[in-house]
């Protein structure tokens, strides 16, 4: 921890930006493991289209142009990042320009022809280590060579006859999702009404309880014993809601966690897939902040994460927000906590919903509301996706809402003690529903670039 704290114990910028902020990249190893276990097409055939896109370039959208403009401060963490994402004269790419990434194309070509191991032990790894050594980074050749993707058993609960299956630690998202579903099952949300004041109040209180637990009681299962089965049990849910008030909002200090991480960025990626053969994928992955650490590894085009900031760095500082959990204390070889919540809901033993979202700590509540909208409120996917969302953390205490809620309901919530804060969009759920042989899709309009696509003879119907 001392590498990332100043003399007063405050987190320094090197945990957020620059070469020291990056954990060992796992995406290449993870996708390779998935391919080895479940892939059908040859590895090179799977990777080659990405290499071609990088080599030929992409047309810059308005959203990407704007993102590069406001992301420049972070990307200035490395000269290679500026070279990769800005024009040779240093000016930004504009809408309609073509952005070519030849270094990234070289890396993807190596991965396609030499396999994922080249990223961790081959020529790509050599460039990676040289860049770290030249810029004071921490990741070494043994760190890369020793990295292994992990297969872990998913966790699940039953909610109103549906089986909800999701991600275990080192993500905290799945545990919190199942805990909230178990608590909410004892309330008749359908009768209470969608986004009514009473429903929002109960959900807000349940969110506080689960978010308090996730911050204090989880870490990398290779390092700590997570009380997962206790947290996702029906008995624990009953205990947790026994003192819940239907009339007043509970202040954070009144909630004791089961036993906190710096503010999580909301810039994560999620995609959901279903195919004609019945294969289902719900995948969430992240660099952390927008453009991660702002570092591109020289000669590779690879943009690095800034996940060091998601460890607990100040475990001995009382009251430190999301940074004083010993379960998530930083350690060599350890995986940091995240909020990723890729989820599959089964009905009668068959896949029914495939869902996930970006959004940092808001991911969990976004996935929760999609499930509730479909299961409790009988919405189709478009209705479930477009409906206004809200987010309640344990700390801070504000009930964050999107625009579009009933003013009278908000007034009632205010009288109950909720501190209402209107914010921009929450999450970007990418959801598939499978029913009677049909595949329905609803991309979230909250972020540019979302879409639904059918490939080959897979039939997709847009939910309406």
Which sequence positions are flagged as catalytic? 268
DSSP code of 288? S
DSSP-based three-state secondary structure for 352: strand
Please name the residue that has the structure tokens 């022809």: 113
For the range 103-108, what are the long-range contacts, defined as Cβ-Cβ under 8 Å and sequence gap of 24 or more? 103/296, 103/299, 103/300, 103/301, 104/54, 104/300, 104/301, 104/302, 105/51, 105/52, 105/54, 105/55, 105/301, 106/299, 106/300, 106/301, 107/300, 107/301, 107/302, 108/47, 108/50, 108/51, 108/54
> Which of 371, 380, 367 has the alpha carbon at shortest distance from 438?
380
Q: Which residues pair with 5 in a beta bridge?
A: 11
**Helix or strand holding residue 73 (H, E):** helix 72-75
Rounded to whole angstroms, the Cα distance separating 262 from 265 reads 9
Rounded to whole angstroms, the Cα distance separating 226 from 335 reads 14
Rounded to whole angstroms, the Cα distance separating 366 from 29 reads 28
Which positions ≥6 away from 20 have C-beta within 8 Å? 3, 4, 14, 136, 137, 138, 308
Please name the residue that has the structure tokens 């805990």: 179
Please name the residue that has the structure tokens 């509301």: 369
Q: How many angstroms separate the first and last alpha carbons of the chain?
A: 51
């Amino acid at each position: 921890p001392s590498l990332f704290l100043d003399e007063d114990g405050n987190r320094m910028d090197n945990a957020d930006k620059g070469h020291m902020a990056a954990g060992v990249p796992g995406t290449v190893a993870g996708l390779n493991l998935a391919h080895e276990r479940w892939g059908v097409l040859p590895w090179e055939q799977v990777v080659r289209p990405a290499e071609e896109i990088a080599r030929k370039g992409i047309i810059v959208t308005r959203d990407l142009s704007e993102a590069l403009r406001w992301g420049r401060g972070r990307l200035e963490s490395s000269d290679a990042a500026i070279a990769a994402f800005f024009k040779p004269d240093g000016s930004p790419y504009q809408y309609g320009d073509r952005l070519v990434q030849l270094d990234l194309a070289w890396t993807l070509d190596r991965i396609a022809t030499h396999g994922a191991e080249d990223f961790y032990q081959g020529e790509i790894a050599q460039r990676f280590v040289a860049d770290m050594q030249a810029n004071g980074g921490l990741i070494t050749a043994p760190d890369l060579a020793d990295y292994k993707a992990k297969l872990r058993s998913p966790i699940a609960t039953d909610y109103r006859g549906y089986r909800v299956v999701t991600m275990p630690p080192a993500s905290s998202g799945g545990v919190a999702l199942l805990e909230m579903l178990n608590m909410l099952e004892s309330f008749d949300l359908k009768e209470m009404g969608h986004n009514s004041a009473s429903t929002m109040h109960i959900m807000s209180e349940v969110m506080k309880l689960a978010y308090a637990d996730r911050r204090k009681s989880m870490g990398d299962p290779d390092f700590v014993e997570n009380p997962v089965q206790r947290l996702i049990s029906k008995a624990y849910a009953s205990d947790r809601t026994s003192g819940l008030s239907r009339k007043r909002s509970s202040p954070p200090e009144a909630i004791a966690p089961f036993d906190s991480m710096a503010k999580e960025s909301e810039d994560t990626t999620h995609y959901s897939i279903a195919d004609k053969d019945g294969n289902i994928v719900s995948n969430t992955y992240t660099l952390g902040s927008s453009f991660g650490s702002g570092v591109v590894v020289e000669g590779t085009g690879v943009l690095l994460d800034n996940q060091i900031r998601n460890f607990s760095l100040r475990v001995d500082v009382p009251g430190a927000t999301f940074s004083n959990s010993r379960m998530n204390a930083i350690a060599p070889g350890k995986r940091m906590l995240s909020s990723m919540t890729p989820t599959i809901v089964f009905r009668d033993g068959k896949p029914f919903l495939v869902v996930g979202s970006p959004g940092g700590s808001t991911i969990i509540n976004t996935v929760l509301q999609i499930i509730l909208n479909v299961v409790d409120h009988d919405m189709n996917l478009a209705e479930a996706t477009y409906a206004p969302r809200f987010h309640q953390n344990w700390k801070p205490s504000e009930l964050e809402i999107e625009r579009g809620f009933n003013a009278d309901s908000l007034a009632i919530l205010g009288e109950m003690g909720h501190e209402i804060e209107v914010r921009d969009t929450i999450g970007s759920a990418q959801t598939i529903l499978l029913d009677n042989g049909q595949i329905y899709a609803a991309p979230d309009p909250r972020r540019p670039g979302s879409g639904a696509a059918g490939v080959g003879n897979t039939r997709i119907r847009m939910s309406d």
